[in-house]
């Protein structure tokens, strides 16, 4: 049965990886070293690929229910800020390499747990996308975990940068587990597993999870930080100026 709930959930999955990919792609040609430049852009391409599959599915559902002509492109390029349902953490500025790595680590660990659940849900299309994406996500977790350890347990400078990144990003991790009516799984149930993953890597990295801090929310409901508007303006500029342009 197709309903608005599935459409919203699919768009949330697509939007989060698209916006994160858009941010990560800013590292292209600016990575700290050629090999890591390729690594982060490979991950970015994985995320865009996952977004495309979810947008294609969302377009199919929307067209069936509302008799529209949506495509993956119209969903990515012609929706506004309030219509995007991505997690706030995806739209935050990249900061330094430590901050980008930590965001990828926090998100990929969540992504992994989420998709492990999604591969068993009833919706065949979403479960198939989850199975396919998990192979990529498992590598994202491995890659980002090793970087968190490398920087956290590295020099005084790299350690202090990780500590600063944790301060900035931690308040945006609570949103992962904020239950909402459109959720496909019970997100609260994966929270303790996520904390365990983070703790295990932080232990090796000589880093600490912050105490009780206020958690930011709103992304899933379309209430965003001031950053998303700028991201969309840039990302959508070509299609807004030349609708339907192909290359």
Return residues touching other proteins (CB under 8 A).
32-36, 38-39, 42, 142-143, 146, 150
Specify the residue, 93 or 154, whose C-beta has the smaller distance to other proteins.
154
Specify the residue, 13 or 151, whose C-beta has the smaller distance to other proteins.
151
State the minimum distance, in angstroms, from the CB of residue 182 to other proteins. 35
What 8-state DSSP symbol labels residue 69? -
Contacts of range 12-15, beta carbons closer than 8 Å, 24 or more positions apart: 12/85, 12/86, 12/182, 12/220, 13/50, 13/54, 13/126, 14/50, 14/51, 14/52, 14/54, 14/55, 14/58, 14/75, 14/76, 15/51, 15/84, 15/85, 15/86
User: CB of 24 within 8 A of CB of 44?
Assistant: yes
Specify the residue, 158 or 225, whose C-beta has the smaller distance to other proteins.
158
State the minimum distance, in angstroms, from the CB of residue 47 to other proteins. 15
State the minimum distance, in angstroms, from the CB of residue 38 to other proteins. 5
State the minimum distance, in angstroms, from the CB of residue 195 to other proteins. 26
Specify the residue, 183 or 204, whose C-beta has the smaller distance to other proteins.
204
Specify the residue, 1 or 34, whose C-beta has the smaller distance to other proteins.
34
Specify the residue, 62 or 101, whose C-beta has the smaller distance to other proteins.
101
State the minimum distance, in angstroms, from the CB of residue 25 to other proteins. 15
State the minimum distance, in angstroms, from the CB of residue 167 to other proteins. 26
Contacts of 54 (CB under 8 A, 6+ apart): 10, 11, 13, 14, 17, 126, 129
């Amino acid at each position: 049965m197709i309903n608005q709930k599935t459409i919203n959930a699919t768009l949330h999955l697509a939007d989060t990886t698209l916006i994160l990919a858009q941010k990560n792609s800013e590292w292209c040609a600016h990575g700290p070293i050629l090999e890591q430049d390729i690594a982060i852009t490979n991950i970015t391409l994985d995320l865009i690929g996952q977004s495309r599959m979810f947008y294609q599915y969302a377009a199919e559902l929307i067209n069936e229910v509302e008799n529209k002509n949506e495509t993956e492109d119209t969903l990515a390029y012609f929706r506004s800020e309030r219509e995007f349902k991505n997690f706030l953490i995806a739209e935050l500025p990249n900061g330094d390499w430590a901050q980008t790595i930590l965001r990828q680590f926090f998100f990929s660990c969540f992504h992994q747990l989420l998709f492990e659940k999604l591969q068993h849900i009833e919706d065949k299309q979403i479960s198939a996308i989850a199975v396919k994406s998990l192979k990529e996500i498992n590598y994202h977790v491995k890659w980002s975990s090793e970087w968190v350890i490398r920087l956290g347990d590295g020099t005084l400078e790299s350690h202090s940068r990780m500590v600063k990144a944790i301060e900035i990003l931690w308040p945006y991790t609570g949103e992962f587990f904020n239950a909402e009516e459109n959720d496909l799984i019970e997100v609260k149930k994966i929270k303790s597993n996520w904390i365990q993953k983070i703790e295990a890597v932080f232990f090796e990295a000589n880093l600490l999870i912050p105490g009780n801090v206020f958690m930011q929310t709103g992304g899933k409901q379309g209430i965003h930080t001031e950053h998303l508007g700028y991201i969309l303006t840039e990302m959508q500029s070509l299609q807004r100026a030349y609708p339907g342009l192909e290359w």
